[in-house]
Amino acid sequence: MKRSTSYIHCLRLRGWRFVLALIAVAGIIITTGAFGVSSSPALAASLPCDIYAAAGMPCVAAHSTTRALLSSYSGKLYQVKRWSDSATTDIGTLSTGGYANAAAQDSFCSGTSCTITIIYDQSGKGNHLTIEGPGGNGAQDYGANAAALPITAGGHKVYGLYVSAGVGYRDNSTSGVAKNGAPEGMYMVTSGTHVNNRCCFDYGNAETNSKDNGNGHMDAINFGTECWFSPCSGSGPWVQADLENGLFAGGNGSNTSNKGNSSAFVTALLKNNGQTTYAIKGGNAQSGSLTTWYSGAEPNLGGYSPMHQEGAIVLGTGGDNSDGSVGSFFEGVMTSGYPTDAADNAVQANIVSVGYSSSISFPVTGTAYRFTNVNSGKVLDAVNCGTANGTAIDQWASLGNTCQQWKFASVGSGKYTITNVNSGKVLDAVNCGLADGTSVDLWSSLGNLCQEWEVIPTGGGHYELVVENSGMVLDDQNCVTTNGTPARLWQGLNNTCQEWSIAP
């Protein structure tokens, strides 16, 4: 095909800008040690959206609670809302192109808890994410607790976005995002240790009416352990493509070459030219390069080739607001145009240069703690000091006995069993229930996810206790404060009835 002179000139310009971007990224790699994590990484000269712009596929969305994603950005990263008085404030960067000012959040939320209410778009397109409304398969969502995911990035304390069941963000009226078979790319940095097999921890393109509008109406990265098209390879979690009515590991869905990514920080990448081809990549966001899990034809199952994207942006749920999934989100972008592999590699190198790392120091394994509900002031208690499987759990005034003491034992990746000191039995989600209102009891240790818990800081020395099988939190039933009020499981509501102080 004959190309116009201006088109060739444009390509040359793009080529030179891309070479310059690669030189900048190479400089970062040399400064920080080849793909290593420096103890005090310098700010990157060329950030993900600089790299994609230089390669000719600019960002049309850029979201992060941890850092700027283009070097000229000095605006707002996210908004938090205080539980005590519903006041809001915006959290920005410490410097142009720099890391989030977590100290501003700590100061504003001191003495109370905060919810993340907006994640601002840094691309200039105004595609800000707010708390997701009701959809075809999910009620009004909740915002994430702002203090739930403290980590380190670039040597600075920052917060990631902790998505539990019922948490989701969305923009159904975007600008510049691919529609109806247009090419696009996207990545997110997430975690391989905070996942489940429920639908659907997604970031990317979704329906503008929050309903399942049919095959090809979504083009979003999915990350989790839900194997939609059997067989899958191992137990995941996998980077997959949520193209609507299916989480595709590659090809027509099943792709055992997609081996999964379980590192503490994961780069998850998806791109789709909208007409014939899509690709899935994953990598360790702390070191090394991306693995291409799939690159080839779009599914030939009807509706996916060409694609029918609608151009909304979803984060944390499925296209129809299916919201049983959990996950962590640190940063992500969407591009206009199908990114080159060279650009993807340069973005991965920049992500690695950030030096993302966890900062978990609580709870201490083996210490006997009491869990005091912040609303009721009562402690978590085994009813009548029962020791049998099925013993119910309630809240009672502190009696100083071992029926009200609990010990954590690590099962890895920041998860714990919680053993009642008197009975030796563990805290358990009854029948592995997934519904709001599921009871908790004592049971012999079974080694399953219904007995594994995460201890999530919510600010002010308080915590949520999240059970792994459902992502629901331990809750003071109906916020009642009398002795004997059951503790049970409910989706996160951002109130003090779901907060516990945990002390010896």
Residues annotated as catalytic are 244, 320
Spatial strand order of the sheet with 247-248 comes to: 88-92, 76-82, 114-119, 129-131, 169-171, 312-315, 202-206, 219-224, 238-242, 247-248
Q: In the complex, what is the shortest distance from the CB of residue 220 to ligand AHR, in angstroms, rounded to a whole number? A: 7
Measured from the CB atom, is 244 or 310 closer to ligand AHR? 244
Tell whether residue 241 is a contact of ligand AHR (CB under 6 A). no
Binder of ligand AHR out of 320, 323, 454, 464 (CB under 6 A): 320
Q: What is the SS3 string spanning 206-246?
A: ECCCCCCCCCCCCEEEEEECCCCCCCCCCCCCEEEEECCCC
Site for ligand AHR in 350-379 (CB under 6 A): none
Instruction: Decide if 194 contacts 358 (C-beta within 8 A).
Output: no
Tell whether residue 322 is a contact of ligand AHR (CB under 6 A). yes
The residue number with the shortest CB distance to ligand AHR is 318
Tell whether residue 47 is a contact of ligand AHR (CB under 6 A). no
The position carrying tokens 């380190």 is 152
Tell whether residue 216 is a contact of ligand AHR (CB under 6 A). no
Q: In the complex, what is the shortest distance from the CB of residue 322 to ligand AHR, in angstroms, rounded to a whole number? A: 5
- Longest alpha-carbon distance in the chain: 84
Measured from the CB atom, is 219 or 476 closer to ligand AHR? 219
Q: Tell me the number of residues near ligand AHR by CB under 6 A.
A: 14
Burial call 250-265: b when 16+ CB within 10 Å, e when fewer? bbebbbeebbbbbbbb
Ranges assigned E (strand) in 21-113? 59-64, 76-82, 88-92
Tell whether residue 246 is a contact of ligand AHR (CB under 6 A). yes
Measured from the CB atom, is 139 or 388 closer to ligand AHR? 139
Stretch that binds ligand AHR, among 75-83, 244-252, 467-475, 492-500 (CB under 6 A): 244-252
Instruction: Decide if 440 contacts 474 (C-beta within 8 A).
Output: yes
Residue 339: cis peptide before it, omega within 30 degrees of 0: no
Q: In the complex, what is the shortest distance from the CB of residue 197 to ligand AHR, in angstroms, rounded to a whole number? A: 13
Residue 41: cis peptide before it, omega within 30 degrees of 0: no
Measured from the CB atom, is 301 or 421 closer to ligand AHR? 301
Site for ligand AHR in 135-154 (CB under 6 A): 137
Measured from the CB atom, is 198 or 488 closer to ligand AHR? 198
Residue 164 to residue 307: CA distance in whole angstroms: 30
Residue 504: cis peptide before it, omega within 30 degrees of 0: no
Site for ligand AHR in 54-113 (CB under 6 A): none
Q: Which amino acid is at 67?
A: R
Instruction: Decide if 210 contacts 172 (C-beta within 8 A).
Output: yes
Tell whether residue 323 is a contact of ligand AHR (CB under 6 A). no
* 173-202 footprint of ligand AHR as x/- string (CB under 6 A): --------------------------xx--
Tell whether residue 391 is a contact of ligand AHR (CB under 6 A). no
Stretch that binds ligand AHR, among 62-70, 119-127, 318-326, 379-387 (CB under 6 A): 318-326
Residue 198, both tokens: 């429920």
Contacts with ligand AHR by CB under 6 A lie at 137, 199-200, 212, 218, 242, 244-247, 318-320, 322
